[in-house]
Amino acid sequence: MLSKQSEVKDQFLQEFTVILEYMEWKKIRPLKGTHTLVKGSGWPSLLAEKFNQMIPGCVLSFKNHTVYNGSRGGYFRANAHCKHEGCGAFVFSMRKKPPKHSSAQILVTVTHPYTRHSRMAIKKRRLQGQQRKETQKRLRMSNPSKLFYEQLGSMDRKQFSSGNYTQSQSKEVLRQAKSEWNLAEIEHKDPFTELCIVASTLADCLPGKSNSLNLRGYVQTISYQPFSTILFSYESLMAAKNNIQNADGTFYFDATGGVAFLAGKSRRKLLYYALVQKGLNNSVVPVLQFLLENQTTVAIVNPLLLFFTALKKCTKHCSPKRVEMDFSWAIIHSVLQVLNCTTIHVYIKYCYMLITAKISADTDTTVIHICSAHMVKTCRDYLRDKVPNKVIRQNAIKAFSLLQNCT
C-alpha cells in the first residue's frame, strides 16, 4: 500500500519520465515511413501501465498521437486524459528518436490537474488489440469467472496498489471477449446462410409431430430478394389463442428501423415488426416477429396473413378484440385487410355509424386503436409547421391530450 505522504506527493507531480525497455519499445515503435506507432501492438495499454506506476488510479484514454520524423519540434507526442469526470489531462512526448538497441524514455507532462481516486471507483481500460486476442485464446480453455480470479490472484503488490485497473479485467469484459470469439468461430461468414442453418436447426429441435398443424421450428419463411423473415412457433399460436379466449384479446403492433441490417456491401436496412401481448406481471410476450426491407401494405399483409391463418386452424374465434398500433397507414391498412377484410374507408364509415348509434357493435370486428403517445407526437409535428407561437402550440397539445383522456 502507498503511504499517505506518497499519496499527497504524487498529486502535485507536474512531469515525470516513464521508461520502456528495448523489447517493449521494439514491439510498438513506428514502422519505416509511417507516422504512428504500430497499430494493434497494444501501445496504449503499455503506456497506461507505466503511467499507473507513478499515478495509480487514473484510467487513461488516448485521443491522438503522432510520430514526427525529422521534425525539430520533437519525435513523438500523444494526448491522453483520465476517464474519471473532471480528472487530469496528460501529454506523452519524446524529443529524440531512441538510439538502436536501447530503451525509450517518454516524458509525461500534466496539462490539467488530476485527483487521487478511490479503489472503489470501478473504471478500467478497454480490453483491446493483442491483449484481447490473447485473452480470447485463454478463454477457450477456461470460463470468464475462473480466469478473472486467476488474474486477480496473480497480481503483484505494485499492480494491486494501482487499483487493478488494467491487469485484471472484469467478468463482464471477459464474457464479451469470449462471446466475440464464439461468433467468429461458430457462425457462418454469410449471414443469410447462417440464418438458413439456424432455421433448419430450430426445425429439428421443434419438430412438427408434436402439434396438429405440422408447424416446425420458429423461422417459418425466409426470402432473400426482397428480404423477409417470419418468426413464430406453435407456442406463439397457443399464447395468442389464450389471449383471445381467456384475456382481454388486446395485441400491440409496431415497427422500428435501424436495429438490423443485412451485412455485405449493400448493407440493406431492415425494419423489425413485432406483434406482442401482455403476459404475467405486465411482461411483454411477442407472438409474431418479422423482418422486412420496406414498410408497405403488400409486404406487411403476408406475415400477418400467415400467422392468423395458422391461428384460425387452432380456434374458430381467432380475431383479436383490439390492436394497438402506431399512426402508420401501411400498418393500419394491413391489419384491416387481414383481420376485418375491409379498407380504411369502410372501417371509418363503420365507426361513424357505431358512435351515432345507427348500428350495433359487431363482436367479430377488431377495433383499431392508435397509440395515444404517437397521436400526441403527430399532433405536435403538425402544429410545428402551422403555429409559430410556442406557447400556443404547447397549450394546443395539452388540450389535445386532455381530449384523448376524456374519450
Q: In what order do the strands lie in the sheet with 76-82?
A: 15-20, 104-112, 89-94, 76-82, 60-67
Note the pLDDT of residue 224.
78
Whether pLDDT at 263 is above 70? no
Confidence class for position 8, pLDDT limits 50, 70, 90 = very low
Confidence class for position 130, pLDDT limits 50, 70, 90 = low
Q: How far apart are CA 100 and CA 97, in angstroms?
A: 9
Higher per-residue confidence, 24 vs 1 = 24
Note the pLDDT of residue 7.
43
C-alpha cell at 93: 512526448
Residue 197 contacts residue 261 (beta carbons within 8 Å):
no
Predicted confidence (pLDDT) per residue in 31-80, tens digit: 877 778 887 777 888 888 888 888 877 888 888 888 886 666 678 888 99
Most confident range (mean pLDDT) of 89-93, 117-121, 326-330 is: 89-93
Whether pLDDT at 3 is above 60? no
Q: Mean pLDDT over residues 291-305, rounded?
A: 90
Range with lowest mean pLDDT among 12-16, 47-51, 96-100, 239-243: 12-16
Mean of pLDDT over the chain: 78
Q: In what order do the strands lie in the sheet with 322-325?
A: 219-224, 227-231, 284-292, 269-278, 250-261, 322-325, 367-370
Whether pLDDT at 5 is above 60? no
Residue 327 contacts residue 378 (beta carbons within 8 Å):
yes
Whether pLDDT at 327 is above 60? yes
Residue 319 contacts residue 364 (beta carbons within 8 Å):
yes
Note the pLDDT of residue 163.
47
| pTM of the full structure | 0.52
Most confident range (mean pLDDT) of 7-16, 72-81, 142-151 is: 72-81
Higher per-residue confidence, 194 vs 344 = 344
Instruction: Residue 237: count other Cβ atoms within 10 Å of its Cβ.
Output: 24
Q: How far apart are CA 278 and CA 326, in angstroms?
A: 17
What are the sequence ranges of the domains in the chain?
Answer: 4-112, 132-186, 191-370, 375-405
Higher per-residue confidence, 383 vs 40 = 383
Residue 38 contacts residue 30 (beta carbons within 8 Å):
yes
C-alpha cell at 202: 430450430
Nearest to 268 by CA among 233, 303, 302, 228: 228
Note the pLDDT of residue 308.
92
Run of H or E residues at 261? strand 250-261
